[in-house]
Amino acid sequence: MYQKTIAELAAGLRAGEFSSEELTRSYLDRIEKHDEKLNSVLTLTASAALEAAKAADKRLKNGDATMLTGIPYLHKDIFCTLGVRTSCGSRMLDNFEAPYDATVTAQLKEAGAVMLGKTNMDEFAMGSSNETSFYGPVKNPWDLERVPGGSSGGSAAAVAARLAPLATGTDTGGSIRQPAALCGVTGIKPSYGRVSRFGMIAFASSLDQGGPFATCAEDAAHMLEAMSGFDRRDSTSIDRPVDHYAEGLAEDLCGLKIGLPREYFGEGLDARVGAAVEAAIEEYRTLGAEVREISLPNASLAVPAYYVVAPAECSSNLSRMDGVRFGYRCDNPRDLEDLYTRSRGEGFGAEVKRRIMVGTYALSAGYYDAYYLKAQQVRRMIRDDFVRAFEDVDIIMGPVTPTTAFKLGEKADDPVTMYLSDTYTIAVNLAGLPAMSVPAGMAEGLPVGLQLIGNYFDEGRLLNAAHKFQQVTDWHTRMPAGFE
Amino acid sequence: MKWEVVIGLEIHAQLATKSKIFSGASTAYGAAPNTQACAVDLGLPGVLPVLNAGVVSMAAKFGLATHSAVAKRSVFARKNYFYPDLPKGYQISQFELPIVHDGYIDIDLENAETRRIGITRAHLEEDAGKSLHEDFHGETGIDLNRAGTPLLEIVSEPDMRSAREAVAYMKKIHALVRYLGICDGNMQEGSFRCDANVSIRPKGQEAFGTRAEIKNINSFRFVERAINYEIERQIDVIEGGGEVVQETRLYDADRDETRSMRSKEEANDYRYFPDPDLLPLEMDQAFIDAVEKTLPELPDAKRDRFIQAYDLSRYDASALTASRELADFFECTVEAAGGEGKLSANWVMGELSGLLNKEGRDISTSPVSPERLGGMLQRIKDGTISGKIAKQVFEAMWNDEGDADAIIEKKGLKQITDTGAIEKIVRDVLDANPRQVEQYKGGQEKLLGFFVGQVMKATQGKANPGEVNKILKGLLSA
């Protein structure tokens, strides 16, 4: 069953070939059997899942089911879930149970999707390897000594190992696309404002966007449609109708104009990754697309700009974790100062503290203009590069990551090298554009991702291009060994 | 040395919305602790602010009423600092681009001049919660009911030169926000409070002295006392050879003094930056025009109209327009009194205000309605009662014994205007006091008052005093 697409599962449910309860149980069994190796699931909600599955079965019988009714999924532990702990991968929220559902949680519930549990992640989504989690790293199912990427590493690894057909993620600088690439699954980060951020614990508010992981673009299309939409509880959410992404998947790619940014194929790109990406682009030529080189002149400024803006926002966003009202509180505080410093000192991990300090510095009196303001100006330049590029091309393509999955611990002590692993993904968040990662090859047994970047609200075109590619390739159907 | 005082005020006016500025929780005062704090007010992980549209038009009203620019684009910013009653670890405020800026109001000084006080800016922000230090056995309790209450912070230019001027400015702003219906002005509940920036400089010097900021003053009386205390303190410091340090001071009303809270060095670096959870606030001209159409007649315009329409002095007109309720009461009284402006003003500001003050009542709870007061004034005007008798009638109305006509009827207070009847009484009085009549005729004309008094006594004050005078003079000169 775990090799079926969502459409096939939905058909099976409707035809009575299996019930949602059976489907849910089979995935719960897979998690029980395989996740010990991966550490991708932090909280398994088996009994609630079976209850939801029974309700879904009823709904399927009543004929008011949606595409996702009865379909199991795993939820990144950054989305608040009523009655289920939301830890955000941190000791700080190890005891936190939100008294509300995130909008995305509520939308998936409404659609009838069945939540199996919550997935591991880098602490507060800060990391590119899932090594900053308070609950220990997630392993890459393709090689258990390697990282799955981050911050949505648990979701990516779980879908790669077929522990769930779908999973949610969030992407602030590449946190969906990079783990999708390193784990060989399909992930899409929609345009900023497309998916509500309400109840999605903020890392960097102006960059964060939720999105789905799936094994293929077609499945991702169904999940994205369910997650998207205007939410009046999120002032940055955009009031614009949601496309029926699945309907446009089969569009012909003849005449599609693809741009390859020169800056994404230069120094630092692993040759094997580059070769796989170029081979994938060759497939697009075969499918009738026109490929041309373009330039994103300010691409090299994305990482430095991002590492001012994101820490600045996070330093403020994480101030509420103060040990006063919820979350971790140190033992026997002497006074208020002690309560703050020890609760935060003990509750946060090293990477989170590093970013809070960088961000606090960047916003402080006398440095604001030189750092924060300058970074915002650079951000505008980066956005303008894309706007100009999209005057000539429909989709921008390139690698997602410079290398395939690296070894656990390899970059853990070198933050700057770690930050550079997001060099191709970060600019997209700064610009607020939609982008996705599609399995596009293998290099020495490890998956390589192809990045597709679209114009604002052009998610449909990205999914269409990814789907057509997946119809002529089989990278997305490959599974890591040992998870059968 | 002669010192000049320089004062600027930051007034916090709580905007009169039903729900909070960024959440749907109620702003009603006095609920049990933390019963009016929702997930957004508590700053729980994942929640987001959504601007209450009501505060935007309220701020725009204030801007339009103070000759200020209403910004087409303003930006919410985060003011970052840690405090247990600040749930998010930052306050959402406005920093570089406030919603209202560059305006002024005019205040009347005691020497009958007016002074223009500049309004630097007015910005929207959320209030913090309350820390409760009592009743927790050495620990601190937090009540977040007030967290997220909408405030308009109104920052003046340093244009005031005495504590009295500061009070006059604060009163004027207080009247204005209540006229506009954007703040209930309740100072006991903290809906209207201010911080005062005070410095002194030698008279004639252009550069400002170092200022101290006095925090959280919640009454007009305390503003005056706190500023005056601070002026004296600063003069003492400088004349004693010291220097005023820039600091934040707290006014202690019980001891009538200000004391240091924190110095400039201890001040927080608030690390302001635009709040990425809220888009810039944009208003178009059509919206501003629509708000302008909803503005009521403002105090200055009303004062000028009262001077014109009712022939009042500027002083009286200002007093009567100090609040919208008082002005409305006055105008209803005038209408019921058949257009008697001057007479109505005298009664509203005299007898009525006196009794209201004595009983600590507000005009809105006056036991005498403007209709009844006006009805009584009609009876003064048509001669049914004298001004003196009217005081008895007024007291009876205050005690809710009916309207003026009923009271006059019941108590038999109708003035005797029949000249024949008055003449008869006058003759009786003169006959009964021959010695005084002799003295009067001998030149002691001040005895006229004695005769008037005797006549009034005989008529229980009901004789028309004009008639009495006329008849007395006639008979005595015969």
For strand B90-94 and strand B76-80, is the pairing parallel, antiparallel, or unpaired? antiparallel
Confidence of residue B133 (pLDDT cuts 50, 70, 90): confident
Task: Name the active-site residue from A19, A20, A129, A175.
Answer: A175
Determine contact, residues A402/A424, Cβ cutoff 8 Å: yes
Determine contact, residues A116/A158, Cβ cutoff 8 Å: no
Determine contact, residues B160/B9, Cβ cutoff 8 Å: yes
Chain B residues with CB inside 8 Å of A98's CB?
A: 39, 44-46
Among chain B residues, the shortest Cα distance to A359 is held by B271
Shortest CA gap A99–chain B (Å): 8
With 70 as the cut, is the pLDDT of residue B84 above it? yes
Q: A1-484, superfamily in CATH? A: Amidase signature (AS) domain (3.90.1300.10)
Shortest CA gap B229–chain A (Å): 32
Q: How far, in Å, CA of A194 to CA of B346, rounded?
A: 66
CA B243 to chain centre: 36
Q: How far, in Å, CA of A260 to CA of A271, rounded?
A: 16
Q: Is A321 close to B278, i.e. CB distance below 8 A?
A: no
Residue ranges of domains in chain A: 1-484
Task: Determine the average pLDDT of the residues in B369-374.
Answer: 96
What one-character-per-residue DSSP string does A379-421 give? HHHHHHHHHHHTTT-SEEEEESSSSSPPBTTSSTT-HHHHHHT
Question: What is the SS3 assignment for B261?
Answer: strand
What one-character-per-residue DSSP string does B173-193 give? HHHHHHHTTS----TTTTSEE
- A82-115 as b/e: b if 16+ CB within 10 A: eebbbbbbbbbbbebebebbbbbbbbbbebbbbb
Q: How far, in Å, CA of A421 to CA of A207, rounded?
A: 18
Best of B47, B93, B95, B264 to mutate (most A CBs within 10 Å, chain A): B47
Best of B23, B76, B82 to mutate (most A CBs within 10 Å, chain A): B82
Q: Which of A130, A118, A120, A152 is nearest to A39 (CA)?
A: A120
Q: Is A93 close to B45, i.e. CB distance below 8 A?
A: yes
Determine contact, residues B63/B80, Cβ cutoff 8 Å: no
Q: Is A322 close to B89, i.e. CB distance below 8 A?
A: yes
Q: Which of A58, A59, A71, A57 is nearest to A24 (CA)?
A: A71
- B445-474 as b/e: b if 16+ CB within 10 A: eebeeebbebbbeebebbbbeebbeebbee
The DSSP element (H or E) to which A188 belongs, if any, is strand A186-189
Q: How far, in Å, CA of A190 to CA of A242, rounded?
A: 12
Please report where in the chains the tokens 């849910």 appear, as a residue. A24
- Provide φ and ψ at B11, rounded to 5°: -100, 135
Q: How far, in Å, CA of A42 to CA of A124, rounded?
A: 14
Q: Could you give the angle at which helices A350-363 and A302-317 cross, rounded to 10 degrees?
A: 100
- Retrieve residue A202's tokens: 């903020």
Nearest Cβ partner for A235 among B45, B49, B272: B49
Nearest Cβ partner for B279 among A235, A318, A364: A235
Task: Name the active-site residue from A151, A191, A196, A421.
Answer: A151
Q: How far, in Å, CA of A265 to CA of A402, rounded?
A: 9
Task: Name the active-site residue from A19, A20, A40, A76.
Answer: A76
Q: Regarding predicted confidence, which is higher, A447 or B268?
A: A447
With 90 as the cut, is the pLDDT of residue B210 above it? yes
Q: How far, in Å, CA of A430 to CA of A173, rounded?
A: 8
Topology of the domain comprising B419-476? Arc Repressor Mutant, subunit A (1.10.10)
Q: Is A326 close to B49, i.e. CB distance below 8 A?
A: no
pLDDT number for residue A458: 98
Q: How many helices (DSSP H) and strands (DSSP E) are in chain A? A: 15, 11
Question: What is the SS3 assignment for B384?
Answer: coil
Chain B residues with CB inside 8 Å of A340's CB?
A: 82
Nearest Cβ partner for B51 among A98, A235, A372: A235
Please report where in the chains the tokens 């002529």 appear, as a residue. A472
- Retrieve residue B4's tokens: 């000049």
Determine contact, residues B321/B327, Cβ cutoff 8 Å: yes
Q: How far, in Å, CA of A218 to CA of A166, rounded?
A: 11
With 90 as the cut, is the pLDDT of residue B386 above it? no
pTM: 0.92
Determine contact, residues B182/B62, Cβ cutoff 8 Å: yes
- Retrieve residue B473's tokens: 């003079």
Give the number of other CB atoms < 10 A from CB of residue B114.
13
With 90 as the cut, is the pLDDT of residue B463 above it? no
With 90 as the cut, is the pLDDT of residue B455 above it? no
- Retrieve residue A384's tokens: 């303008």
Please report where in the chains the tokens 């004309």 appear, as a residue. B445
Chain B residues with CB inside 8 Å of A316's CB?
A: 78, 80, 89-90, 271, 273
Shortest CA gap B218–chain A (Å): 27
Domain with CATH 1.10.10.410 in chain B: 419-476
pLDDT number for residue B1: 66
CA angle A267, A270, A275 (to 5 degrees): 105
Q: Is B271 close to A365, i.e. CB distance below 8 A?
A: yes
Q: Is B82 close to A364, i.e. CB distance below 8 A?
A: no
Q: Is B269 close to A368, i.e. CB distance below 8 A?
A: no
Beta bridge partners of B231: none
**Can you give the pLDDT of all 484 residues of chain A as single tens digits?**
899 999 999 999 999 999 999 999 999 999 999 999 999 999 999 999 999 999 999 999 999 999 999 999 999 999 999 999 999 999 999 999 999 999 999 999 999 999 999 999 999 999 999 999 999 999 999 999 999 999 999 999 999 999 999 999 999 999 999 999 999 999 999 999 999 999 999 999 999 999 999 999 999 999 999 999 999 999 999 999 999 999 999 999 999 999 999 999 988 899 999 999 999 999 999 999 999 999 999 999 999 999 999 999 999 999 999 999 999 999 999 999 999 999 999 999 999 999 999 999 999 989 999 999 999 999 999 999 999 999 999 999 999 999 999 999 998 888 888 888 899 999 999 999 999 999 999 999 999 999 999 999 999 999 999 999 999 999 999 999 999 8
pLDDT in tens, B217-259: 989 999 999 999 999 999 999 999 999 999 999 998 888 888 8
Give the number of other CB atoms < 10 A from CB of residue B411.
14
Asked casually if ipTM beats, i.e. exceeds, 0.85, the reply is yes
To the query of whether residue A257 is one of the catalytic residues in this protein, the response is no
Q: Is B276 close to A205, i.e. CB distance below 8 A?
A: yes
Determine contact, residues B142/B129, Cβ cutoff 8 Å: yes
Q: How far, in Å, CA of B323 to CA of B473, rounded?
A: 47
Give the number of other CB atoms < 10 A from CB of residue A258.
21
pLDDT number for residue B446: 86
To the query of whether residue A175 is one of the catalytic residues in this protein, the response is yes
Nearest Cβ partner for B46 among A200, A232, A336: A200
The one-letter code for the residue type at B400 is D
With 90 as the cut, is the pLDDT of residue B112 above it? no
Confidence of residue B387 (pLDDT cuts 50, 70, 90): confident
Best of A317, A329, A356 to mutate (most B CBs within 10 Å, chain B): A317
Q: What percent of chain B clears pLDDT 70, i.e. is strictly above it?
A: 100
Query: Which residues in B have their CB inside 8 Å of a CB on A?
Result: 39, 42-51, 78, 80, 82, 84, 87-90, 140, 142, 269, 271-273, 276-279
Q: How far, in Å, CA of A167 to CA of A153, rounded?
A: 11
Please report where in the chains the tokens 């926000």 appear, as a residue. B177
